[in-house]
Amino acid sequence: MVRKKGKMIIWPSNIDQSKSRRKGRIVPKRTSVKNPKLSEIADVAQKLGLNPEVEPDKSYPKSWWERSGRITVDKKTKKSEVAKEIAKEIKEMRSHS
C-alpha cells in the first residue's frame, strides 16, 4: 500500500454497525451506520470537503475475500473523528430520504 502524504483511508468497515471493533469498526456502535455504501461515503466526504478518491476494487485486510472498496480522503483530524463525522452525515442523509 502506497501512503499519500496528507491522506487517510476510510473503509466501509470503519463505520459499519454490523462489524465488531475487532473486525474494523472504529466508531461507537450508536454512531455507526448499517451497511454503508461506498457511494454514500464518497458523497458525504465530498460534501465535507475531504476530496475523496474512490477505489472500488480494494479489499479490507481483515476481510480480504470481500471487495468492499475504500475511500482515500484528506487528513484533517484524527481518523476516528473523520469517520464519526462521515457516519453522522450518512445517518442524517438517510433520515431525509
Q: What was the pLDDT predicted at 3?
A: 67
- The pLDDT score that the predictor gives to residue 4 is 76
Q: Are 47 and 76 in contact (CB under 8 A)?
A: no
CA nearest to 35, candidates 43, 25, 47: 25
Burial class, 13, CB count within 10 angstroms (exposed 0-12 / middle 13-18 / buried 19+):
buried
pTM given for the model = 0.91
> pLDDT band at residue 2, thresholds of 50, 70 and 90?
low
Sequence-ordered strand ranges (E) for 25-83: 53-55, 70-74
pLDDT at 1 over 60: no
Which tens digit of pLDDT belongs to each residue from 75-89? 999 999 999 999 999
pLDDT tens by residue, 18-63: 999 999 999 999 999 999 999 999 999 999 999 999 999 999 998 8
Bridge partners of 74? Answer: 7
Count of domains observed in the chain: 1
Instruction: Record the cell numbers describing residue 13, joined without a space.
Output: 468497515
Q: How far is CA 32 from the centre of its chain?
A: 10
Range of the domain at 53: 7-95
CATH code, domain with 85: 3.30.56.30
Amino acid 97: pLDDT: 72
Domain assignment present for 1: no
